[in-house]
A and B are shown apart, each in its own frame.
Chain A
Amino acid sequence: MSTKHSKAAEAYLHDDAVATRHDQTFFGVRQKRDRMAQSLPEWEDLREAASQIKKHTATHLADYLELFEQRAVANGVHVHWAQDAEEYNRIVFDILSSHGVKKVVKSKSMLTEECHLNDHLEKKGIEVVETDLGERILQLMRLAPSHIVMPALHVHREDIGDTFRKLIPDFEEIAKGYAPLGIAQPSSLDNDPTFLTYVARMHLRRQFAEAGAGMTGANFGIAETGDVVVCTNEGNADMSTSIPKLHIVSMGIEKLIPNYEAMAVFQRLLARCGTGQETTVYTSHFRGPRPGGEMHIVLVDNGRSSILGNAEHWQTLKCMRCGACMNTCPVYRRSAGYSYTYFIPGPIGVNLGMLRDPHRYYDNVSACSLCCSCDNVCPVKVDLSSQIYRWRQQLDSLGHADPMKKMMSQGMSFLFNHPAIYQGALRLSPMVNWVPAPLINLKLNPWAYGHQMMKFPNKSFHQLWKEKKL
């Protein structure tokens, strides 16, 4: 009885120090979020408002999308519509190639991960440089994000130093420039956070200067004005769009909100939930192209409109990708991002994976103890744990039910539906105590993996009641 997730998690947990650090790091983020939540008396009202705004927008999506397009076009922006990942990748490539772009700088966008844009562009000869520090580290290490907001928090600084030295071509030249700043050379330079940040900054500045286009995601699209709002902590979205003349925005259609009154609600929730900050360091509002430049917005569906028609799972469209459900999830914290088979891990990822392709991503449905903590941190009140419960109900008809779980459930169901046999079994159950321990602790008994076997009492409650021995 296991899934790809449970096996990967077991392997991950073999390194006690790594596992402990991962859990503590992300629980720390959850605690920072808690302090933010406790500091606003109107917190629960904000969550309710955010949930209602998202519901309203999702149920009027076609109208708001048309309004958004109309306003964006009036602002001088080119608007494109992509039905799926393939069309999206083609549109982006066409824009870049028609401008002769050879290198593109990107701020963080989970949508581009979803559509595998980087691979597509690189195969066609366009260099893609991630400029979010975490994403850049992972790109150099050829790793996928392990979390949607803090994608490289699982990477240790020793490995970052090593990667920079090996893979940043002008590392030595940059490192030489560090001394004139008057900062004492630390004994182990490669692993010093200030030094590594300096190297990253100098390395990325060159990339910004050389790039022919800048790409950003969109945290929010504002229908009433046609604006796109991007939240970062590093200012890399601004750098990516301030130097190259060409700006391409990739935006999932669920990122739309009606107006700036709505924006005010989400602005107060996003960073508080995501990282425990009152606000992100940079909140950038893009309304149109820079003088002499061009701005394109690609609106991507890629399955979202069919989620909207799914009565049991449409609420996932309310998600604004803050990552709070991952930070609070006791299973995510102890199994880490790579144990999940979908690129988005944690409670929201379990659900989004199933919506993407249940036959490919059903292995993640086991990664939930149904503790419901995610439901209570979610700033837009997505019913995450109930959705996972409902997916479990569908596994059997999808042909992915675990045979042993099914057999156990059938056994229990038979017993519980036949009270006389159930009571007979209760009378026999203490005999389990007489089974020799080696037989109980067989691999066949999954309870024995982590537990000592329980001892059955001599008499069940049923027997005590019948014998009036209460």
Chain B
Amino acid sequence: MKIGLFVPCYVDALYPDVGVATWRLLRSLGLDVDYPERQTCCGQPMGNAGFEKMAEPLAKKYDELFRGFDYVVAPSASCAAYVRCFHPRLLKGGECEAVGKTVDLVEFLHDVLEVKSLPARFPHKVSVHNSCHGVRELGLSSPSERNVPRFNKIIDLLGLVEGIEVVEPERPDECCGFGGMFAVEEQAVSARMGLEKVRRHIATGAEYVTGPDSSCLMHMQGVAQKQGIDGIKFIHVAQILSAGL
């Protein structure tokens, strides 16, 4: 199985450790992983801001770079969701072979590989951040709005880690207020949502907040630091699942 590793732009620039953790994790599972060097961004920042046209060439490029793989794995639920839900619209029914092969890391481990054990050890209490696009576009967990059987793929995977204690905050899938350029256009509402979310995570007594999206974690961390809150750390789920590798 040939895996294309997609490390979205802001993970590339700001959270390379998340990319490294993902690469190590996939390699440890015996997979053939490649990283096409000309990759940049899925186009979501421009699309959500209202400039989808500027994202069109990126969607084309994405397809060219990744169509040859069996799966494209991204450590970012929101970017994987943008590819899956919006690239077909951007490409207007044209070539989009890579779309159906694109998965978030959690989906890939849980649904494709169906991993039942991991060598990771992380003896800490962590609060799970169920990010919106992971929940409501990729189905990483059952949305709290719906009457469907309860499940959470992130918690399933974290359950394989030795020594970990996993909790969820109150309002477990309410938005943290990042939303791309929403965070700068609706600064006040966004910061308020972020602060409330951080407080709910802290109220669980966890040492870490973890989730499948570095963007939400970046937002919450920035809000917490601005408010002088230092009682909690932020870590991507790939870093926990690969702990010790």
- Tell yes or no: A283 within 8 A of B by CB: no
Cβ–Cβ contact A37 & B147, under 8 A: yes
- Tell yes or no: A405 within 8 A of B by CB: yes
Minimum Cβ distance to chain A for residue B15 (Å): 8
Q: Which of A67-100 contact B (CB under 8 A)?
A: none
Cβ–Cβ contact A331 & B19, under 8 A: no
Cβ–Cβ contact B14 & A470, under 8 A: no
Q: Mark B44-79, 1 if CB is under 8 A from A, else 0.
A: 011111111111011001000000000000000000
Of the candidate stretches B104-112, B151-159, B177-185, the one touching chain A is B177-185
Cβ–Cβ contact B177 & A426, under 8 A: no
- Tell yes or no: A193 within 8 A of B by CB: no
Minimum Cβ distance to chain B for residue A354 (Å): 12
Minimum Cβ distance to chain A for residue B120 (Å): 17
Most chain A beta-carbon contacts within 10 A, residue among B54, B178, B218: B54
- Tell yes or no: B92 within 8 A of A by CB: no
A369 to B38, CA, bound (A): 30
Q: Which of A439-458 contact B (CB under 8 A)?
A: 446-447, 449-454, 456-457
* B-side contacts of A393, CB under 8 Å: 47, 50-53
Of all chain B residues, the one with the shortest Cβ separation from A401 is B50
Cβ–Cβ contact A409 & B148, under 8 A: no
- Tell yes or no: A185 within 8 A of B by CB: no
Cβ–Cβ contact B190 & A392, under 8 A: no
- Tell yes or no: A267 within 8 A of B by CB: no
A468 to B138, CA, bound (A): 32
Q: State whether A371 and B51 are in contact (beta carbons under 8 Å apart), knowing that A44-B148, A447-B184, A451-B225 are contacts in the complex.
A: no
Of the candidate stretches B5-13, B121-129, B160-168, B203-211, the one touching chain A is B5-13
The size bracket of the interface on B is 35 or more
Most chain A beta-carbon contacts within 10 A, residue among B16, B219, B221: B16
Minimum Cβ distance to chain A for residue B239 (Å): 13
Minimum Cβ distance to chain A for residue B85 (Å): 9
Of all chain A residues, the one with the shortest Cβ separation from B222 is A451
Of all chain A residues, the one with the shortest Cβ separation from B190 is A450
A406 to B46, CA, bound (A): 9
Q: Mark B1-39, 1 if CB is under 8 A from A, else 0.
A: 000000101011111110110011000000000010111
Cβ–Cβ contact B9 & A416, under 8 A: yes
A330 to B48, CA, bound (A): 17
Minimum Cβ distance to chain A for residue B232 (Å): 14
* A-side contacts of B187, CB under 8 Å: 2, 6, 10, 446, 449-450
Cβ–Cβ contact A366 & B182, under 8 A: yes
**Contact check: which of B41, B185, B189 meets A405 at CB < 8 Å?**
B185
A328 to B183, CA, bound (A): 19
Q: State whether A461 and B19 are in contact (beta carbons under 8 Å apart), knowing that A1-B184, A372-B136, A450-B190 are contacts in the complex.
A: yes
Cβ–Cβ contact B136 & A331, under 8 A: no
Minimum Cβ distance to chain B for residue A285 (Å): 29
- Tell yes or no: A38 within 8 A of B by CB: yes
- Tell yes or no: B212 within 8 A of A by CB: no
Q: State whether A27 and B171 are in contact (beta carbons under 8 Å apart), knowing that A371-B136, A409-B45, A412-B41 are contacts in the complex.
A: yes
Of the candidate stretches A211-219, A274-282, A295-303, A373-381, the one touching chain B is A373-381
Minimum Cβ distance to chain B for residue A205 (Å): 40
- Tell yes or no: A144 within 8 A of B by CB: no
A456 to B218, CA, bound (A): 12
Cβ–Cβ contact B181 & A372, under 8 A: no
Cβ–Cβ contact B50 & A331, under 8 A: no
- Tell yes or no: A19 within 8 A of B by CB: yes
* B-side contacts of A460, CB under 8 Å: 12-13, 16
Minimum Cβ distance to chain A for residue B38 (Å): 4
Cβ–Cβ contact B16 & A459, under 8 A: yes
A392 to B191, CA, bound (A): 22
Of all chain A residues, the one with the shortest Cβ separation from B58 is A416
* A-side contacts of B238, CB under 8 Å: none
* A-side contacts of B173, CB under 8 Å: 373
Most chain A beta-carbon contacts within 10 A, residue among B15, B148, B174: B174
Q: Which of A383-416 contact B (CB under 8 A)?
A: 389, 392-396, 401-402, 405-406, 408-410, 412-413, 415-416
Cβ–Cβ contact A371 & B179, under 8 A: yes
Q: Mark B181-202, 1 if CB is under 8 A from A, else 0.
A: 1111111111111101000000
A91 to B14, CA, bound (A): 63
Cβ–Cβ contact A419 & B136, under 8 A: no
A417 to B52, CA, bound (A): 14
* B-side contacts of A412, CB under 8 Å: 41, 45-46, 54
A-B contact pairs, 28 of them (CB 8 A): A6-B189, A9-B186, A10-B187, A34-B145, A37-B145, A43-B147, A330-B177, A331-B186, A367-B189, A368-B182, A369-B175, A369-B179, A370-B132, A376-B143, A392-B50, A393-B47, A396-B50, A412-B46, A416-B9, A416-B40, A417-B61, A446-B187, A447-B183, A450-B226, A452-B221, A454-B222, A461-B19, A462-B37
Instruction: Mark B residues whose CB is within 8 Å of A.
Output: 7, 9, 11-17, 19-20, 23-24, 35, 37-41, 43, 45-55, 57-58, 61, 132-133, 136-137, 143-148, 171, 173-175, 177-194, 196, 218-219, 221-223, 225-226
